[in-house]
Structure 1
Amino acid sequence: MMEEITDRFHGHDSSTSSSDSDDDDSSSTLKSDVYRLFAREKPVHKVLGGGKSADVLLWRNRKISGGVLAGATAIWVLFELLQYHLITLVCHGLMLALGILFLWSNVTIFINKKSPLRIPEISIPEEPIHQITSVLRLEINRTIEILRDIASGKDLKQFLYVMAGLWISSVIGSFCDFLTLFYIAFVLLHTIPVLYEKYEVRVDSFGEKAIAEIKKQYQVFDAKVLSKIPTTISSKGGKKTA
């Protein structure tokens, strides 16, 4: 009797485990079927690099993120609203720092009768400079390569996207200077990722509908306009005009 009861329990456990595995498979399938904006497969934190910079952009530490945003706001207010100049700001900052250090050094000698304040040596390391220049060189070369592919006429859709983006950027640039534009981009970079991470499901759902509508309108535009534009296609046998 005990053996029969044990067999029945084992059969029930195996059936429950198989059902659990089926549920896991179905849930993983549902997760893989969920639409993600820009075909994203990683969390937002990983997409942004996954390091300290991603922590700052996603406000993992509110004090550091708030301090960075406050510093950028102070710089924008100084240069844009108060019409402060960079050379003037640097000179005033150096004057203030040198004055404070000079007075502090003489005060310590007068009070404690010791040697003057020893200012530590400050030097820029060579390694980070090489890394920054290497990254900039790679990004500039990649941008030049992308622009060369676009100008070669291989992808009309990509060409139109780039031209539309440049036109929108030129219109925005006509209303504000570079510093204001950079500040706006900086603020957006510190607000959009954290808001997207918070409302990820809603944004992905809306993005899916918007992209489907854009593709639909592009197909109509392609059928009515782009398909009627003559293009030259080069082949091995020669050139053919469609």
Structure 2
Amino acid sequence: MESPGRYRYRPANTLYAASHDWFSPYLSRPVRELLDAGPHARSLLRSPRNVDVCILFTDIRGFTDLSRTIGSDRLFRTVDACIGRQIRIIEHYDGYVDNFTGDGLMAVFEGPDMTDSACRCALEVVSRALPAVRYGEAALAPIGAGLHRGDVAMGTLGCESRLTHTAIGDTVNRAARLTGFARGRDVVISERIRRGLSAETAARFAPVQADRRRTDIDAIAPIYRSRCG
């Protein structure tokens, strides 16, 4: 029986995920799927591949100020609840978390409907991930998000003592930089994302002028901001 995941292979008799349930959540979905290949897992994980994906970055606006106003335990519980809510939304739209970035995360979407799915996911994250996480009088600032589509190199980075399976490349960098343009409860997307959206989803975005004084993103590239915040 072949794997139901994206990385089609014939798995070993004893599946890794089935025998390590407690450990599986520490791994990204591609790593869990590839580990089920048994003896072939190591070579598969070490083999980089080029793939067209959508990359989503999120982070909490005003997080530094928030961290100065509430205790570390409350801060951790608040961010944990916020991150957990985002993950559930991302998985609902068939994406997965590649890594965490402190108060935010990086998610990957693949497949034929990835552009519209990733964008609708981002809109839901910025509008729904925060209301459920309030502790006393402390409340999180809004979430901002950036989304871009393009080719990435996906594979294993690191050395003998520490490895990670991740996506790297200009697409990742641009998605991260677009997040910097997001204000509270904003999703900022690239032109390539907008071209792949359904008319209904595209109507939720308006063009914005990139700040030409910034050097960390192409100042003449069209970008779009969501109308939800």
User: TM-score per shorter chain, which class?
Assistant: under 0.3
TM-score w.r.t. the length of structure 2 is 0.20
Query: Larger strand proportion, structure 1 or 2?
Result: 2
Which structure has more relative contact order (CA 8 Å, sep 6+)? It is: 1
User: Which of these two proteins has the greater Rg computed from alpha carbons?
Assistant: 1
TM-score w.r.t. the length of structure 1 is 0.19
